Chain A
Amino acid sequence: DIVMTQSPDSLAVSLGERATINCKSSESLLYSSNNLNYLAWYQRKPGQPPKVLFYWASTRESGVPDRFSASGSGTDFTLTISSLQAEDVAVYYCQHYYSTPPTFGQGTTVEIK
Chain B
Amino acid sequence: QVHLQESGPGLVKPSETLSLTCTVSGGSINNYYWSWIRQPPGKGLEWMGYIFDSGTTNYNPALNSRVTISVDTSKNQFSLSLSSVTAADTAVYYCARSANSPYCIGANCNPWFNCFDPWGQGILVTVSS
Identify the A interface with B (CB < 8 A): 1, 31, 33-34, 40, 42, 48-52, 55, 61, 93, 95, 97, 100-107
- 25 A–B contacts, CB within 8 A, in A order: A31-B103, A33-B103, A40-B114, A42-B115, A42-B116, A49-B94, A49-B96, A49-B118, A49-B120, A50-B45, A50-B116, A50-B119, A52-B116, A55-B117, A61-B117, A93-B45, A95-B45, A97-B98, A97-B112, A101-B47, A101-B60, A101-B61, A101-B62, A104-B45, A107-B45
Q: How many residues of B contact A (CB 8 A)?
A: 25
In Å, the complex CA distance between A104 and B40 comes to: 14
Query: B103 and A103: CB pair below 8 A?
Result: no
Given A93-B45, A103-B47, A106-B44, A49 and B115 touching (CB < 8 A)? Answer: no
Query: B44 and A34: CB pair below 8 A?
Result: no
In Å, the complex CA distance between A55 and B103 comes to: 15
Query: A49 and B121: CB pair below 8 A?
Result: yes
In Å, the complex CA distance between A52 and B113 comes to: 14
Query: A95 and B116: CB pair below 8 A?
Result: yes
Query: A40 and B45: CB pair below 8 A?
Result: no
In Å, the complex CA distance between A91 and B104 comes to: 34
Q: Which residues of A contact B46 (CB under 8 A)?
A: 104
Consensus secondary structure, chain A interface: loop
Identify the B interface with A (CB < 8 A): 44-47, 58, 60-62, 94, 96, 98, 103-105, 112-122
Given A49-B120, A52-B116, A104 and B103 touching (CB < 8 A)? Answer: no
